[in-house]
Amino acid sequence: MRSRFDEELSRLSSDLTTMGALCEETILTAVEDLSKGNTDAHQHIAPFVEEIAGKEKAIESQCLKLLLQQQPVASDLRQISAALKMITDMDRIGVQASEIAEIIGFLDGRTGSECEYIRQEAMETIKMVNGAVDAYVKHDVDLANKIIDMDDIVDDLFCKVKAFLIEMITNNPDDGGYALDLLMISKYFEKIGDHAVNIAEWVIFSETGVHKGGA
Amino acid sequence: MRSKIFRSTFFVAIIVFLSCLVLIMGVLNEYFVNIQEKQLKSELVLASTGVEKSGVSYLKKIKKDSERLTLVAPDGTVIYDTWTDASKLENHGDRKEIKEAFETGIGESHRYSATFTEQTLYYAIKLPSGDVLRVSTVRLTMLTTILGMLQSIAAVIMIAFILSLVLAGIVSKQIAKPLNDLDLDRPLESDTYDELAPLLTKIEHSRREIEWKKEELREKEKEFDAVTQNMDEGMVLINKKHEVVTINPAAKRFYGYTEDPVGKNFLLLDRDVEVSKMIDEAEDKGPSERVKEHQGREYQLHASRITSHQNPIGTVILIFDITEKAFAERNRREFTANVSHELKSPLHSIMGSAELIENGMVKPEDMTRFVGVIRKEASRLVTLIDDIIQLSALDEKKDLPLEEVFIKSFIEEEIETLKPMAEKKNVIVKCTGDEVACNVSKQLLHEIVYNLVDNAIKYNKDNGSVEVNTSSFNSGNFGSAKIVVRDTGIGIPPEHQPRIFERFYRVDKSHSKEGGGTGLGLSIVKHAVQYMNGDVTLESKEDVGTTITVVLPVKN
């Protein structure tokens, strides 16, 4: 009985890892599309997002089944409940990456290269998502804490992007729409960073039983 | 087995004991009955003599607690009874033993009491007086005897029970001892029952076989380990559940994993979506490959399914570093493209000029110029092809004859041939330093010096200068010759310096024909120096000049 439960738990863990990997791939593709100015970015991203959504459903029902049938306690319960929360954040990351892809479609092939900060922000976000999934896979609480701290860097970069875009609009009012699109992209990156922080927090919860997000 | 032996021994002992008990009781009973009967008879005889001599008065003297004696008259009436009052007794004439005594002189009979627990024995004898004297005694039946002895019997049974328990335990232990002491690692050396010998021989045989197979397996494993531990390619074996079964150090290095990931899910090492797809493909269809960039290097991952008796049991993933290969491939492609380009451009000029002449569109007075173009371009082609042949010869590492060359005079000769070109650009070329004798290939040295000096003149400014310095020095045990070519030319910008020795690489991207270079000169120099186990270094500053230093070992 127990060994079957353990098997199910390890399957849950590997499914979650796969889902995390899909998120990484999605956001990486979005950033690549942005840097190349691919207007059909949305078509690249769509299959990933669909797959992520499918995985979310599958993991969710798997978690519920485990909760009902095995009535886990202590660390097993934490692991499953953290998984339930993490998939929501991962799903949001996928959706937001697809939003970014949609906006890239409106940029008419421009890449936002005027603003170095957007590229930096994208890189930092990728690092955060990567690190959050890594922390989950390796059960690494220290790494998870580092990811939570990294959020400040991304927030800071978002502010820099904002300042840059304000200046851009003042100097070149014709580029207003473009600047706003870039702002949206930057905001989505910032949101993805927040979701990575959430994932990191749930990793810490599942390892230590303490949830940093308060309450 | 011990418990089985114990139980059997115990039950056998108990059964034997109980049946002995029963038999002995039966035999004893019989024996006692006989003795009692004999006693009774002799007592009767004694009493009859007593009665004969002294009559009833004898009987009266007998104590009441001994056997009962009754004197019966011939008509059956009781004359005297030692136990009860004779007058109260009925007529005994019809009693069996009395009747027999009257008829034959002796009679006997026995009767059970109402409860069957007692049996009364009677003996009668006819006295000479005609009366019958009867003796009777009460005998306990076997049942009564047993009931009376119940306590002692129970005690005996108890003792027997305990004794057989203990003995059976000891015996079974003794029997099982050789079996328990059997050393299965050395079965034939054990001292045990003969009946076990065939079995033990078989065990010994199997044991040796297993030992041998184990050894063989260990050898194979060692071999496998030695191969996988030392190979540069990463190798990971995973089972059907994607858990790592084996991983070699190269793969661990690749994934930057220090602890042992055996037994963990492969996703822990690599969760790349493409890699997961590759593994799935390998499981479903067969061998599958992916190229993956990792820490700035390019790797090729190859997955193939492992089957055993047509059942998939896992997947093997091999990781090859193809950075160099990919780089070489890119270089080769670039080289081919460059060669075709470089070969084509002079041919286009030649064809253009020739077509113009063919169609009579060239005025006679211009003819010389057009033919001059054709000749110039053709000679450029020849130079280019010469250079390519030279390079490929160097690539092939053909053996070239070595001879003693005096470097300084050799360089002076080379400079002499390049003088006209230098004069055209107003560049002064001079050779300084010491004479060094060197054992090298004259042809290669020519290529080196010619190309270097040629470049130094070509990329010089007007009124510039080129200085070639030769010297010798000792590095370790080997004497080396050093040739330094220093010019005051345009220099090479720092971003181009690392690539300047590549084939067809030019600082001036327009591939200007002005200088007439092929872009292969420095590449030839580098290869030639390498061929002679030397070393070439570059030092350059834009607008100041370039210094190229070649170090060649004196002896080769």
Nearest-CB residue to B276 (from A10, A21, A138): A21
The two tokens of residue B148 are: 């009376």
Contact B273 A22 (CB under 8 A): yes
**Whether pLDDT at A148 is above 50:** yes
% of residues, chain A, pLDDT over 70: 98
| Number of other residues whose CB lies within 10 A of the CB of residue A67 | 15
Q: Choosing among A8, A12, A14, which should be mutated to test the B contact, i.e. which has the most B CBs within 10 A?
A: A14
CA gap B134, B71 in Å, rounded: 6
Give phi and psi for B252, each to the nearest 5: -60, -45
CA gap A165, A173 in Å, rounded: 11
User: In this predicted structure, what is the pLDDT of residue B213?
Assistant: 96
- DSSP category for residue B247: E
User: In this predicted structure, what is the pLDDT of residue B114?
Assistant: 64
> Residue B471: beta bridge partners?
B482
Contact A21 B267 (CB under 8 A): yes
Q: Write out the residue range of the structural domain in which residue A165 sits.
A: 2-208
Would you say residue A213 lies in a domain? no
| pTM for this entry | 0.54
Contact B242 A14 (CB under 8 A): yes
| Number of other residues whose CB lies within 10 A of the CB of residue B262 | 11
**Whether pLDDT at A109 is above 70:** yes
Domain tally, chain A:
1
User: In this predicted structure, what is the pLDDT of residue B140?
Assistant: 67
Using a CB–CB cutoff of 8 Å, tell me whether B428 touches chain A. Answer: no
Q: Which residue in chain B is spatially nearest to A15 when comparing CA positions?
A: B267
CA gap B372, A149 in Å, rounded: 73
Q: Which residues of A touch B265 (CB under 8 A)?
A: 10, 13-14, 17
User: In this predicted structure, what is the pLDDT of residue A74?
Assistant: 81
User: In this predicted structure, what is the pLDDT of residue B143?
Assistant: 73
Using a CB–CB cutoff of 8 Å, tell me whether B267 touches chain A. Answer: yes
Contact status, residue B452 vs residue B431, Cβ threshold 8 Å: no
Phi-psi region of B519 (alpha: psi -120 to 50; beta: other; left: phi over 0): left
Query: Which of B31, B44, B114 is closest to B82 using CA atoms?
Result: B44
The strand pair at B297-308 and B288-294 is best described as antiparallel
* E strand or H helix at B320: strand B311-321
| Number of other residues whose CB lies within 10 A of the CB of residue B125 | 21
Query: Could you tell me the pLDDT band of residue A1, with boundaries at 50, 70 and 90?
Result: low
Nearest-CB residue to A21 (from B242, B265, B271): B271
The two tokens of residue A140 are: 């690494």
**Residue B251, class by beta-carbon neighbours within 10 Å (0-12 exposed, 13-18 middle, 19+ buried)?**
buried
Strand ranges across the sheet with B478-487: B428-433, B465-475, B478-487, B545-553, B535-541
pLDDT in tens, chain B (556 residues): 788 888 888 899 889 988 998 898 888 888 888 888 888 888 888 888 888 888 777 877 777 667 788 888 888 888 888 777 777 777 887 888 888 888 888 888 888 766 666 778 888 888 888 888 888 887 767 777 778 788 888 898 899 889 888 988 898 888 888 888 877 777 777 777 888 888 888 888 998 999 999 999 999 999 988 888 888 888 888 888 888 888 888 888 888 877 788 888 888 888 888 888 888 888 888 888 888 888 788 888 899 988 888 888 889 999 888 888 888 888 888 888 888 887 888 888 889 889 988 888 888 888 888 888 888 888 888 888 888 888 887 777 777 778 888 888 888 888 888 888 888 888 888 888 888 888 888 888 888 888 888 888 888 888 888 888 988 887 666 788 888 999 888 888 888 888 888 877 777 766 555 556 677 888 888 888 888 888 888 888 888 888 999 888 887 5
Distance (Å) from the alpha carbon of A79 to chain B's nearest alpha carbon: 17
Contact status, residue A111 vs residue A33, Cβ threshold 8 Å: no
User: In this predicted structure, what is the pLDDT of residue B211?
Assistant: 93
Q: Which residues of A touch B273 (CB under 8 A)?
A: 18, 21-22, 24-25
User: In this predicted structure, what is the pLDDT of residue B514?
Assistant: 55
Give the mean pLDDT of A210-215: 64
- DSSP category for residue B491: -
Q: Compute the count of residue pairs across chains A and B with CB atoms less than 8 Å apart.
A: 29
The two tokens of residue A76 are: 């097993």
Single-letter amino acid, residue B534: G
Polymer length of chain B: 556
Give phi and psi for B313, each to the nearest 5: -120, -10
CA gap B104, A88 in Å, rounded: 125
Single-letter amino acid, residue B527: H
Q: Which residues of B touch A133 (CB under 8 A)?
A: 271
Q: Which residues of B touch A13 (CB under 8 A)?
A: 265
Q: Which residue in chain B is spatially nearest to A7 when comparing CA positions?
A: B241
Give phi and psi for B133, each to the nearest 5: -100, 130
Distance (Å) from the alpha carbon of A14 to chain B's nearest alpha carbon: 7
Which residue in the block uniquely carries the two structure tokens 């360089």? B411
Q: Which residue in chain B is spatially nearest to A14 when comparing CA positions?
A: B267
CA gap B319, B275 in Å, rounded: 11
Using a CB–CB cutoff of 8 Å, tell me whether A135 touches chain B. Answer: no
Would you say residue A214 lies in a domain? no
Distance (Å) from the alpha carbon of A164 to chain B's nearest alpha carbon: 31
Which residue in the block uniquely carries the two structure tokens 């065990």? B203
Would you say residue A215 lies in a domain? no
Instruction: Collapse the DSSP code of B287 into the 3-class scheme (helix H, G, I; strand E, B; otherwise coil) and give the result.
Output: coil
Average pLDDT, chain A: 85
Q: Which residue in chain B is spatially nearest to A135 when comparing CA positions?
A: B268
CA gap B412, B392 in Å, rounded: 28
Using a CB–CB cutoff of 8 Å, tell me whether B280 touches chain A. Answer: no
Q: Which residues contact A144 (CB under 8 A, 6 or more apart)?
A: A132, A135, A200, A201, A203, A204, A207
User: In this predicted structure, what is the pLDDT of residue B513?
Assistant: 52
CA gap B459, B496 in Å, rounded: 15
**Whether pLDDT at A215 is above 50:** no
User: In this predicted structure, what is the pLDDT of residue B212?
Assistant: 95
CA gap A197, B100 in Å, rounded: 126
**Whether pLDDT at A214 is above 60:** no
> Residue B318: beta bridge partners?
B235, B302
Q: Choosing among B271, B272, B274, B277, which should be mutated to test the A contact, i.e. which has the most A CBs within 10 A?
A: B271
CA gap B163, B157 in Å, rounded: 10
**Whether pLDDT at A3 is above 60:** yes
Polymer length of chain A: 215
Residue A121, domain CATH = 1.20.58.220
Tell me the CA end-to-end span of chain A in Å, nearest whole number: 34
Query: Which of B305, B307, B275 is closest to B289 using CA atoms?
Result: B275
Q: Which residues contact B281 (CB under 8 A, 6 or more apart)?
A: B288, B303
Domains of chain B and any CATH numbers: 2-147 (3.30.450.20), 231-321 (3.30.450.20), 326-395 (1.10.287.130), 400-553 (3.30.565.10)
Query: Which of A150, A143, A180 is closest to A164 using CA atoms?
Result: A180
- Sign of the CA dihedral with B125 first, then B127, B128, and B131 last: negative
Q: Choosing among A17, A26, A49, which should be mutated to test the B contact, i.e. which has the most B CBs within 10 A?
A: A17
User: In this predicted structure, what is the pLDDT of residue B73?
Assistant: 83
Single-letter amino acid, residue B468: V
The two tokens of residue B432 are: 């300084």
- pLDDT: is B57 or A155 the higher one? A155
Give phi and psi for B341, each to the nearest 5: -65, -45
Q: Which residue in chain A is spatially nearest to B241 when comparing CA positions?
A: A11
Nearest-CB residue to B265 (from A14, A20, A133): A14
- List, in sequence order, the alpha helices (H) in chain A: 2-36, 41-70, 74-106, 116-138, 141-171, 176-208
Would you say residue A110 lies in a domain? yes
